[in-house]
């Protein structure tokens, strides 16, 4: 668990840990949060088509481009997870869909433990047209009562894969659709329709679930998964140096974040 970081630090740390996992052959699991609230773009999205920069400036929302695919996500009241898996690990050999499902298993268990009736999304889930990931539930997502509660994305190379996702503690749909573009005529219509497609941990548990409680429950759920032995750890000096070097040459640069 690495606490709360800036969008640029968060993405650089995920990349540094992915590099370390591929080199060492040891998978890495990380949980973290964001400051300030941040819209992250999927790797292939066009920034100008996905985000309303005027509204983002007004609301003091930052933005960054993820190394993984998918659509835009507003990272605010959530726990974000990342899993870095080297090519030598059996999880890599499972392939894209099966590895998604395996990683989502402990997340579903953690949601159940805090009082959320969650399950993997059924095949054929649909949403509405939007630049937002959470308006288009897919077969690799987690739902509660047929509404999306966890969205995930994965990046694969020949050396391994990085998967990360958002476990939403509380939604602010007005803020989401003020900064992320949608086909709906206005923010209020988009938020009203999205409320039928999206939910949050606190809404489903009918109580406030904190970052700390959710993160601790996730650690316990992954620890209980078959074949997993979690060892608490922190960034090594080399990993911290690598992350610090990545920020100014990649995620902290507007030309990187807006290159598409």
Which residues are tagged catalytic?
Answer: 133
Residue 33: strand pairing partners: 4
Residue with tokens 């998604």: 100
Residues 6+ apart with CB under 8 A from 59: 37, 175, 178, 179
Determine contact, residues 167/80, Cβ cutoff 8 Å: yes
Q: How far is CA 50 from the centre of its chain?
A: 17
Sign of the Cα pseudo-torsion (80, 23, 260, 163, in order): negative
Beta-sheet strands, E only, within the chain: 3-5, 28-34, 38-41, 62-65, 73-75, 78-86, 118-120, 142-144, 147-157, 160-168
Residue 227: strand pairing partners: none
Q: What is the rounded CA–CA span in Å between residue 107 and residue 83?
A: 12
Which tokens hold the place of 51?
Answer: 């985000």
SS3 107: helix
Residues 6+ apart with CB under 8 A from 24: 86
Residues 6+ apart with CB under 8 A from 100: 140, 152, 154, 163
């Amino acid at each position: 668990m690495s606490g709360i970081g800036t969008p640029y630090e968060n993405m650089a740390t995920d990349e540094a840990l992915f590099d370390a996992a591929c080199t060492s052959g040891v998978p890495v699991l990380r949980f973290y949060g964001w400051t300030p609230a941040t819209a992250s773009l999927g790797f292939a999205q066009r920034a100008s088509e996905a985000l309303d920069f005027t509204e983002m400036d007004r609301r003091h929302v930052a933005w960054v481009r993820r190394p993984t695919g998918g659509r835009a996500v507003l990272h605010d009241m959530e726990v974000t997870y990342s899993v870095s898996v080297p090519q030598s690990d059996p999880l890599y050999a499972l392939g894209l869909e099966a590895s998604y499902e395996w990683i989502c298993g402990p997340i579903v268990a953690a949601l159940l433990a805090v009082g959320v009736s969650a399950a993997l999304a059924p095949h054929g889930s649909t949403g509405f047209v939007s630049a937002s990931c959470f308006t288009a539930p897919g077969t690799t997502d987690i739902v509660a009562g047929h509404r999306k509660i966890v969205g995930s994305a994965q990046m694969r190379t020949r050396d391994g894969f990085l998967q990360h996702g958002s476990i939403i503690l509380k939604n602010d749909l007005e803020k989401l659709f003020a900064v992320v573009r949608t086909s709906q005529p206005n923010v209020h219509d988009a938020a009203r329709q999205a409320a039928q497609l999206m939910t949050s941990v606190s809404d489903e548990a009918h109580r406030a679930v904190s970052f700390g409680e959710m993160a601790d429950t996730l650690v316990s759920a992954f620890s209980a998964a078959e074949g997993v032995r979690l060892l608490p750890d922190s960034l090594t000096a080399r990993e911290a140096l690598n992350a610090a070097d990545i920020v100014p040459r990649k995620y902290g640069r507007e030309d990187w974040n807006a290159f598409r």
